[in-house]
Amino acid sequence: MTDLAGLYNVAEFRRAAKRRLPKWLFEYIDGATEDEIAVRNNRAAIERIRILPRAPFDVSNRDLGTSLFGRTIDMPMLIAPTGGAGLMWFEAELGLARAAKAAGIPYCMATGSQVPFERVAREVGGRLWFQLYVWPAREITYELVRRVAAAGAEALVVTVDTPVSPNREYNARNGFGVPLRLTAANLTDMTLHPRWLLGTLLKYVLAGGLPEMRNHPPEYNRRRTRPAIAPRLGLSDTVDRAEIQRLRDLFPGKLLVKGIMHPQDALDMVALGADGLVVSNHGGRNLDAAMATFDALPGVVAAVGGKTTIIVDSGIRRGLDIIKARALGADLVQTGRATLWGASVGGEAGVTRVLDLMRHELTTAMANVGVRTIDEITADLLAG
Ligand SMILES: Cc1cc2nc3c(=O)[nH]c(=O)nc-3n(C[C@H](O)[C@H](O)[C@H](O)COP(=O)(O)O)c2cc1C
């Protein structure tokens, strides 16, 4: 077991994940698309932001509480959906949900999870959101939406930035996929990472089989029926505004749209009744020329700020980044890789440590910029 207390920031969690995971899994998390320009731009845009701090003020008793859909969360962040999380750690989705609940923040589960949503709702609870990839088979998609609504999902997060499979060359080279494809190269890779092999894969085998897609209908996970149904449960390149309207009408809870970058799209989604938007370029994983999310955020805020909840992701690595996002007008941020590296290194305890570090960084930075509450973080703090 990795000494979690000996890891002091997200970058160290990334390095520890690299040691524990087989190369093909580490690359699946860490990689982006093509020449990895977008992922670098995301970080560059965040790193460029300068704060003009205020002082002296009494900054004792700092409060990280933030209002989200009429209820308070304990800091302005949530855990973003990451498909395949359960490959990193045995049933990692349960650990992600437990750590989020203990930290007083929501967890958004991905469609492509190794634990079904209903089980997380039953065994963990908390503020659970569900990320939806609309499948070509619409009737099966709507059935899934009804299922997660019945299980108590607070929000449905419809991802709209992935109409086709992105060009991720490392995945193609590594033969990455769920169910796992056991090639000679990745079998060797697995045996070179015994902590993952015994601590994760073996646990699945002992529990009855290889990790599967547990939100998918059972036919998807049976070797005999899978070939016929798999193409109907892939990505859909026909998701349009009318589809968002249908999902809005179908889902009784909060509806968010993830992958919005353009102010006009933001306006259109709010007009359709979206309760929130995620300004996201999927962590730079889809379009390599995508604008950095922190550069796109001000346009979206100018268009719909105050009319809807705005979440930003792609490149958040420090609590300080949350201050930057709030100063630019976002309501909250979400983390994909940061918390997934936490799960990869230590399951629930790893995610908890990552969230603790980010909370500590945030409260330290709040004192240093001269604010006591999240609402006091405004555009006034931005230098120039
Ligand atoms: C391994 C991995 C899997 C992901 N899977 C999904 C997914 O299934 N659905 C989705 O909407 N976003 C997915 N994302 C994107 C995240 O939700 C989020 O937008 C992104 O990770 C944010 O960037 P960050 O990793 O720099 O925090 C995934 C990201 C990673 C790293």
Check: CB of residue 159 under 8 Å from CB of residue 184: no
282 labelled catalytic: yes
Check: CB of residue 260 under 8 Å from CB of residue 278: yes
Q: What is the DSSP letter of 312?
A: E
What is the CATH classification number for the domain harbouring 141?
3.20.20.70
What's the CA-to-centroid distance between 335 and ligand 1, angstroms?
8
Q: Which atom of ligand 1 is nearest to the CA of 157?
A: 11
**How far is it, in rounded angstroms, from Cα 38 to Cα 314?**
10
4-10 contacts at long range (C-beta below 8 A, 24 or more positions apart): 4/345, 4/346, 4/349, 4/350, 4/353, 5/353, 7/345, 7/353, 8/357, 9/317, 9/318, 9/357, 10/317, 10/318, 10/338, 10/341, 10/354, 10/357, 10/358
Check: CB of residue 3 under 8 Å from CB of residue 19: no
Query: 108: which strand partners?
Result: 129
* pTM, rounded to two decimals: 0.98
Which residue among 89, 168, 282 is best mutated to probe the pocket of ligand 1, counting the most ligand atoms within 8 A of its Cβ?
282
Q: Which atom of ligand 1 is nearest to the CA of 159?
A: 11
Q: Is 316 in the pocket of ligand 1 (CB under 6 A)?
A: yes
**Beta-strand pair 66-68/71-73:** antiparallel
Check: CB of residue 328 under 8 Å from CB of residue 288: no
CA atoms lying within 13 Å on the CB side of residue 299: 14
Kindly give the confidence (pLDDT) of every residue in the chain, 384 residues in length, as a single tens digit, with 9 standing for 90 and above. Answer: 899 999 999 999 999 999 999 999 999 999 999 999 999 999 999 999 999 999 999 999 999 999 999 999 999 999 999 999 999 999 999 999 999 999 999 999 999 999 999 999 999 999 999 999 999 999 999 999 999 999 999 999 999 999 999 999 999 989 888 777 788 888 899 999 999 999 999 999 999 999 999 999 999 999 999 999 999 999 999 999 999 999 999 999 999 999 999 999 999 999 999 999 999 999 999 999 999 999 999 999 999 999 999 999 999 999 999 999 999 999 999 999 999 999 999 999 999 999 999 999 999 999 999 999 999 999 999 997
Domain that holds residue 334: 4-381
Q: Is 75 in the pocket of ligand 1 (CB under 6 A)?
A: no
Number of domains in the chain: 1
pLDDT score of 176: 86
pLDDT score of 175: 86
Q: How far is CA 225 from the centre of its chain?
A: 30
